[in-house]
Amino acid sequence: MSMYLADQVKGAATGMIFMAVFSVLWAYTGTLGLQGWGEPWVFLLSMMISILLMVGGIYLMKSSKKLTRKTEDKTSRGDQLTTQRVFNLVFALEGVAIFIVAFMLNQFNLAEHIPASIAIIVGVHFIPLAFLFRLKLYHWAGGALCLLGLISLTVAPNEIVVFDHSIWLAWIIASFGSAVVLWGIGGTIWVTTKKAI
């Protein structure tokens, strides 16, 4: 197999590990919106799904090391460096945008809108990554995350009562919805990459 395929597998594994880590953060945020309902089981189930995704990423990372490699030429090395720089820039801009939006929402006592706003920012960050890595799946991820954020901001009520228990519905939709999107993307990458090797 070519070095290009080995690098693709390594990239897929790295993406899965990112998805696993960030899905845990989203799931934890979602449990805060449940206001104690389902604790600790909802978060533990979320952790198990993310750990499974992490294991899949580690498996693919190890598999990429077993693939045969060709000698790199200057062009392929330059392409890798450009890809890495663009990825780092997109990731940094996402982080700055999240910080600014979270800070501003807190300043205006609108903290309940933070998860939805972050979901939109994360969704937007997937769009350039879709072009960078040539993954149509990232277009779907970006669209789904933006849609979840918009629904949470505009349609979903902030708080509802279920069986005499108050939960933050908009918060839950943005948070758990984002975790589900990341699990779905990571799982799809795992299955398709595993088949390719």
Which run of H or of E encompasses 59? helix 41-66
Q: How would you label 127-156 residue by residue, b for 16+ Cβ within 10 Å and e otherwise?
A: bbbbeebebebbebbbebbbebbbbbbeeb
Question: How far is Cα 24 from Cα 124, in angstroms, rounded to an integer?
Answer: 20
Asked if 142 contacts 150 with a C-beta cutoff of 8 angstroms, the reply is no
DSSP string for 183-194:
HHHHHHHHHHHH
pLDDT at residue 69, as a whole number? 59
pLDDT at residue 29, as a whole number? 96
pLDDT at residue 136, as a whole number? 93
Q: Which residues are registered as beta bridge partners of 162?
A: 165
pLDDT values of the chain reduced to their tens digit, one per residue, 197 residues = 444 477 788 889 999 999 999 999 999 999 999 999 888 999 999 999 999 999 999 999 998 888 765 555 555 667 778 888 999 999 999 999 999 999 999 999 999 999 999 999 999 999 999 999 989 999 999 999 999 999 999 999 999 998 899 999 999 999 999 999 999 999 999 999 988 87
Distance of CA 19 to CAs 32, 170, 188, Å?
Answer: 20, 22, 11
What lies within 8 Å, CB to CB, of 155 at 6+ separation is none
Asked if 117 contacts 170 with a C-beta cutoff of 8 angstroms, the reply is no
Nearest Cα to Cα of residue 17 among 176, 144, 141, 185: 185
Distance of CA 142 to CAs 23, 74, 181, Å?
Answer: 15, 33, 9
pLDDT at residue 156, as a whole number? 94
Q: Which residues are registered as beta bridge partners of 161?
A: 166
Asked if 122 contacts 145 with a C-beta cutoff of 8 angstroms, the reply is yes
Report residue 79 as tokens.
């392409």
Look at strands 165-167 and 160-162 and give their pairing: antiparallel
Nearest Cα to Cα of residue 54 among 14, 26, 91, 27: 14
pLDDT at residue 72, as a whole number? 54
The structure tokens 């062009």 sit at: 75
